[in-house]
């Protein structure tokens, strides 16, 4: 099961996307403004849930710290 292999942040991200009827592929296909708004919502939710406040903190949900792929979040 894909959820079992995910870390908590990956699960939260996937859950948020799923609640919007999206996955990483469909998110990537969205217009840039719409995608940016969803990414911002995901970042804010992660900040709230995990208490991340440091603007320079990067949390890799793909397993690669500092990665810039769709599965990586820079929490601003």
Q: What is the pLDDT of residues 31-69, one digit of tens each?
A: 999 999 999 999 999 989 888 765 545 554 444 444 444
More confident residue, 17 or 65: 17
> DSSP string covering 41-57, please?
HHHHHHHHHHT---TT-
pLDDT at res. 53: 64
Give the separation between CA 20 and CA 17, rounded to whole angstroms. 5
Supply the pTM of this predicted model. 0.66
Beta strands, E only, 1-76: 58-60, 72-74
Q: For residue 52, how many C-alpha atoms fall within 13 Å in the half-sphere facing its CB?
A: 18
pLDDT at res. 50: 83
pLDDT at res. 54: 55
Among 38, 55, 51, 45, which residue's Cα sits nearest to residue 11?
A: 45
More confident residue, 26 or 64: 26
């Amino acid at each position: 099961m894909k959820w079992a292999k995910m870390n908590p942040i990956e699960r939260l991200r996937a859950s948020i996307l799923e609640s919007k009827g999206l996955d990483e592929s469909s998110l990537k296909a969205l217009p840039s403004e719409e995608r940016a708004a969803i990414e911002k919502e995901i970042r804010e939710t992660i900040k709230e849930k995990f208490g991340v406040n440091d603007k320079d903190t990067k949390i890799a949900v793909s397993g690669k710290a500092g990665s810039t792929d769709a599965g990586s979040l820079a929490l601003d």
